[in-house]
Structure 1
Amino acid sequence: MFENPKYITRGVQGEIPDSLMLLMWQMIAAMQTSQKDYLQVFTLTKTPTGQHIVHTQEQPPYRYELDMHCKCAVDAKVYVIDDETHSTMLLDSEY
């Protein structure tokens, strides 16, 4: 999964910095799990020093948290959906 063409929605393009988009794609590729769910969820939270990222999936359960220093921090929830022909990154409000 997630080895196919990748797309982003207008919402993601307008609200999520390029560096965070790239990091989320990389986090999916680097997952240490037996199986990837078709739906990956990223909760992005601004912190006093930068960005807090929580990456989760439902089946099998997976959770990874990351804090990073950056000036481009945002508050958002981002979904990445794989439908076997392509993967799409979208804001939760676009789902």
Structure 2
Amino acid sequence: MFENPKYITCGVQSEIPDALMVLMRQMIAAMQTAQKDYLQVFTLMKTPTGQHIVHEQEQPPYHYELDVPCGDAVNAKVFVIDDLTHSTMLLAEEY
């Protein structure tokens, strides 16, 4: 999963910095789990020093948190959905 063509929605393109989009894709690729769920959830929170990222999936359970320095941090919830032919990154409110 997630090794197919990748797309983003207009909401992601306008609200999420490019570096964070790349980082989230890298976090999916680097997951240490036996299986990846079709739905990956990222909760992005601004911190005084940058960006706090919570990466989760439901089945099998997966949870990873990361803090990175970031001058253009955002508060958002982002879904990455894989339907076996392509994967799409979208804001939760676009679902």
Q: Tell whether the structures are fold-level matches, with TM greater than 0.5.
A: yes
Match of 1:68, as an amino acid?
Answer: V
Q: What secondary structure does 1:56 align onto?
A: strand
Query: Partners of 1:70 and 1:6 in 2: how far apart?
Result: 24
User: Could you list the per-position Cα deviations for residues 50-92 of structure 1 after superposition, in whole angstroms to 9, with x for gaps in the alignment?
Assistant: 0000000000000000001110100000000000000000000
Query: Partners of 1:17 and 1:51 in 2: how far apart?
Result: 11
1:68-87 equivalences under 5 Å are 68-87=68-87
Match of 1:88, as an amino acid?
Answer: T
- State the percentage of identical aligned residues: 81
Q: What secondary structure does 1:19 align onto?
A: helix
CA RMSD of aligned residues (A): 0.3
Task: State the 1:3 CA deviation.
Answer: 0.3
User: What 5-or-longer segments of structure 1 have no aligned partner?
Assistant: none
Residue of structure 1 equivalent to 2:50? 50
Query: Partners of 2:70 and 2:92 in 1: how far apart?
Result: 23
Tell whether 2:4 aligns with 1:4. yes
User: What 5-or-longer segments of structure 2 have no aligned partner?
Assistant: none
Task: State the 1:39 CA deviation.
Answer: 0.1
Instruction: Give the TM-score of the pair, scaled to structure 1.
Output: 0.99
